[in-house]
């Protein structure tokens, strides 16, 4: 159920909120059946809070997601 939902979002811009409150926005590149996701063209939502993360461009997330939202 969740896998097919996330699979439909591939290619769209999403925001991933991790358990440590770090929010990352980027294009959903891929998702697997374990809900591990890969984001491209990423940026940290609150760059003032996480200045050391300002140069990330590709992120792999392994089910430590707290929330997910997508751009309208």
pTM of the model: 0.72
Distances (CA, A) of 18 to 11, 31, 36: 20, 16, 13
pLDDT tens column, 26-67: 999 999 988 888 999 988 888 788 777 767 766 777 755 555
Please give the pLDDT value at position 44. 87
Does residue 72 or residue 10 have the better pLDDT? 10
Spell out the domains of the chain, with CATH numbers in brackets: 2-70 (2.30.30.100)
Q: Mapped to the 3 state alphabet, what secondary structure does the chain carry?
A: CHHHHHHHCCCCEEEEEECCCCEEEEEEEEECCCCEEEEEEEEECCCCCCHHHCCCCEEEEECCEEEEEECC
Please give the pLDDT value at position 59. 72
């Amino acid at each position: 159920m969740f896998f097919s939902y996330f699979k439909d979002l591939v290619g769209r811009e999403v925001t991933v909120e991790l358990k440590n409150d770090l929010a990352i926005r980027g294009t959903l590149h891929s998702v697997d059946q374990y809900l591990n996701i890969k984001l491209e063209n990423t940026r940290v939502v609150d760059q003032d809070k996480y200045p050391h993360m300002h140069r990330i461009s590709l992120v792999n997330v392994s089910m430590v997601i707290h929330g997910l939202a997508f751009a309208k």
